[in-house]
Amino acid sequence: MTSLSKTEPDPPGRDARVVLSARGVRKAFGSRVILEDITLDVPHGEFICIVGPSGAGKTTLLRCMAGLLKPTAGTVTVDGAQIDGPPEPMAVVLQDYSRSLLPWMTVRANVLLPLRRRRLSRSEKHQRIDEALAAVGLPAAADQYPWQLSGGMQQRVSIARALAYRPEILLMDEPFASVDAQTRADLEDLMLELRARYDMTIALVTHDIDEAVYLADRVVVLSGSPTRVTKSIPVPLGATRDQVETKARTEFVELRGHVMTLIRSASRSTRV
């Protein structure tokens, strides 16, 4: 997996068209304000990682953007249209794969679930499922049950479920937080590869700064609560990245230090 390319092409498929946008999003539960005025634009094809000190409303923001939570104020738009519930061209991958995959369904049935309402022929659907499972490296797991697989494999299945759906936008909430380090690195590389292949716009929430800088075209740093966007940092590391080589680069180390400093100062300013 060593990348020898010295020229760093732009990430594939990027153009200026904003596909996902949050405008002045505020979310409060009763008197507890979690999100305070979040504004964020994600252009088509971009991979953004959202980081912030623990307790910042990272997951809340993601759930607002996924249409699973209604913002108290402000709007979320997908392809220019304000959303009111989970939007059609979006898929979500959650951290808790062992619960988001349905244990009474085989892997194939799980991946098929979101496709049921799509107007596709039976063979098209199953072709998509096979392709998605192959893309995540599980071509032979279709007839097994999720609980017969390892954690990393289960998360691959839930990624395959999102892929088979062919979303324009993919939201991921700490997707690799509960797998081991090696699996995590594999899954990170898988996401970079899939993003290019499937032309998706991806927003991924993580608490891991290394992961954020490694994956993202742009890292969005949130402040402590109530949460705002502290800074949006472009990551000019090119489209091809490598766990060893990229992470050893000076730019990577500097960016990581920069993000870490921001998060530290943000968590110090958090009212506890």
- Per-residue contact string for residues 79-118; x = within reach of another protein by CB under 8 A: ------xx-x-xxx-x-x-xxx-xxxx-------xx-xx-
Between strands 169-173 and 201-205, the pairing is parallel
Would you say 255 and 218 are in contact if contact means Cβ atoms under 8 Å apart? no
Would you say 79 and 160 are in contact if contact means Cβ atoms under 8 Å apart? no
- Shortest distance in whole angstroms from residue 148 CB to another protein: 7
Q: Which is nearer to another protein, 125 or 249 (CB)?
A: 125
- Shortest distance in whole angstroms from residue 184 CB to another protein: 11
Between strands 229-234 and 32-43, the pairing is unpaired
224 interacts with another protein by CB under 8 A: no
152 interacts with another protein by CB under 8 A: yes
- Shortest distance in whole angstroms from residue 149 CB to another protein: 7
Q: Which is nearer to another protein, 47 or 165 (CB)?
A: 165
**Whole-angstrom Cα distance, residue 28 to residue 71?**
8
Handedness of CA 155, 15, 20, 79 (dihedral sign): negative
169 interacts with another protein by CB under 8 A: no
Would you say 145 and 133 are in contact if contact means Cβ atoms under 8 Å apart? no
Residue 232's SS3 state is: strand
- Shortest distance in whole angstroms from residue 219 CB to another protein: 24
Within a 13 Å sphere around the CA of 105, how many CA atoms are in the beta-carbon half?
16
Q: Which is nearer to another protein, 66 or 185 (CB)?
A: 66
- Shortest distance in whole angstroms from residue 100 CB to another protein: 5
Count residues contacting another protein (CB under 8 A)?
A: 33
Among 39, 54, 148, 232, binds another protein (CB under 8 A): 148
Among 24, 139, 151, 257, binds another protein (CB under 8 A): 151
In a 10 Å sphere around its CB, with 0-12 CB exposed, 13-18 middle and 19+ buried, how is residue 6 labelled? exposed
Residues 42-61, interacting with another protein (CB under 8 A): none
Residues 199-218, interacting with another protein (CB under 8 A): none
- Shortest distance in whole angstroms from residue 63 CB to another protein: 8
Helix locations, the chain, DSSP H = 58-65, 97-100, 107-112, 122-135, 151-164, 181-198, 209-215, 245-248, 250-268
Within a 13 Å sphere around the CA of 146, how many CA atoms are in the beta-carbon half?
25
Residue 153 token pair: 């494999």
According to DSSP, the residues that pair with 23 across neighbouring strands are 75
**Site residues for another protein per CB under 8 A:** 66-68, 85-86, 88, 90-92, 94, 96, 98-100, 102-105, 113-114, 116-117, 145, 147-152, 165, 179-180, 183
